[in-house]
Structure 1
Amino acid sequence: MRMKCPHCSEWANIRTSEAVTNLLVRHYFVCSNHLCGHTFVGATEITYTLSPSARPNPAVMLPFSKNVSRSTLTRHLQLAREATDEQLLSSAKVPSSAPDSQAAPGEG
């Protein structure tokens, strides 16, 4: 990603980036005009959802765009409920390697 330098309007390139959160990344820019030499910080932020994920992360609280239809929202909520139900069921399962019962002393 590149941006125009706010001082000389030449292209500035990202030197490094760091994730601040899973929705915000901080970028460190350097102007490509060596006579300008401006370095600055910018950010990229994810602000809302246009099309829901097929694998939603329950920890991400991201609003939907006002342009998302009611049917899309309903479908997304249903998928989220199903995913949560599957996670609850898989965490409640007993490991298959566990013995069903133990023999009483003196048996077997």
Structure 2
Amino acid sequence: KHLKSKWGQMELIVDSAGSDQWNALLDLLKPGCKLVFYGATLGHPSALHLHKIFWKQLAIQGSTMGSPQDFANMLEFVKSKKLIPTVDSIRSFSEIISAFDQMKKGQQFGKLVVKF
């Protein structure tokens, strides 16, 4: 609601989270426009309202962001250059709820690591 009231409807949405927010994203798209997704870090939608897609003639496109060989090349590059990802914090399993809340609010910079 907040995004729609502030900016109106959109022509393109790129999403990596997935989950039940998809129906809200479909509401944000103008008719005839596109939703591109490249992940589902929050999981799969429990219910997808298909009528929102066909009535608005929306296009949905999935992307892997490269081929399996591209992924293997990336891993080798990271290893050979000894690249280290940015880690915001390392949490114990008992702190998983606060870590998720931090991520949901977009307050982290880098990865949130949870030890099991």
Report the TM-score when normalising by structure 1: 0.27
Q: Which has the higher contact order (CA 8 A, sep 6+)?
A: 2
Structure with greater Cα Rg: 1
Report the TM-score when normalising by structure 2: 0.26
Between Structure 1 and Structure 2, which shows a larger proportion of helix residues?
2
